[in-house]
Amino acid sequence: MAKKSAPYSPEFRRQMVELVRAGRRPEELAKEFEPSAQAIRNWITQAGRDEGRRTDGLTSVERQELSRLRRENRQLRLEREILSKAAAWFARETKAVPSKDSDS
């Protein structure tokens, strides 16, 4: 599954954050530019986290690491499941473990 790219570049987001910090309102910027006022507020909040001004959530770096670890965890679980099935198959094939339908 292809990941959608963000519709606004990081530079554009930084500019919006700076404009709000310079005194412009998110609603005003939303009318002038394309993103919604709420999107701009979200960018301001995330910028505050990334700069250490806020502690009420994950920074962008932490979010990226969390996503990477979740992907890695999914992959490891899949590999473990495959190895478990392969080990069970080889055990049955070598008669090391009686099959479920045997009379033992």
Q: Are the C-beta atoms of residues 29 and 12 closer than 8 Å to each other? A: no
pTM of the model: 0.67
Report the pLDDT value the prediction gives residue 95, as an integer from 0 to 100: 80
Total Cβ atoms within 10 A of residue 29: 19
Extract the residue ranges of the chain whose pLDDT is less than 70.
1-5, 96-104
| For the chain, domain boundaries | 9-57, 68-99
CA-CA distance, 10 to 1, in Å (whole number)?
23
Supply the DSSP string of 33-44, one letter for each residue: SSS-HHHHHHHH
Report the pLDDT value the prediction gives residue 101, as an integer from 0 to 100: 63
